[in-house]
């Protein structure tokens, strides 16, 4: 199985984590939600598979292009 990195396209604060490690997701499912400039921006899964790890916690500050989770597809 291939390991895919799920990255955020915006910098901001993680305000929610929608899945947990070991959970299954489909293409386009929300994985985490990042708050940037008072807007909540979901970070979606690029493929269907199983979440291998969540690399952030709620209230963490993330940078644009940062890996927030890994996925086994």
Domain segments of the chain as ranges: 3-72
**pLDDT, average across residues 11-34:** 97
Specify the pLDDT at position 69: 98
- Is the domain covering 3-72 a CATH 2.40.50.100 domain? yes
**pLDDT, average across residues 42-58:** 97
Q: Is the pLDDT of residue 1 over 80?
A: no
Q: Give the number of other CB atoms < 10 A from CB of residue 49.
A: 19
**pLDDT, average across residues 57-72:** 97
Specify the pLDDT at position 40: 97
User: Which pair of structure tokens corresponds to residue 57?
Assistant: 């916690």
User: Is residue 7 within 8 Å of residue 46, measured between CB atoms?
Assistant: no
Specify the pLDDT at position 34: 98
């Amino acid at each position: 199985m291939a390991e895919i990195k799920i990255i955020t396209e915006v910098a901001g604060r993680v305000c929610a984590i929608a899945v947990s490690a070991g959970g299954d997701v489909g293409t386009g499912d929300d994985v985490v939600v990042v708050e940037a400039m008072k807007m909540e921006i979901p970070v979606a899964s690029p493929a269907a598979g199983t979440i291998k790890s969540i690399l952030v916690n709620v209230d963490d500050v993330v940078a644009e292009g940062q890996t927030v989770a890994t996925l086994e597809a």
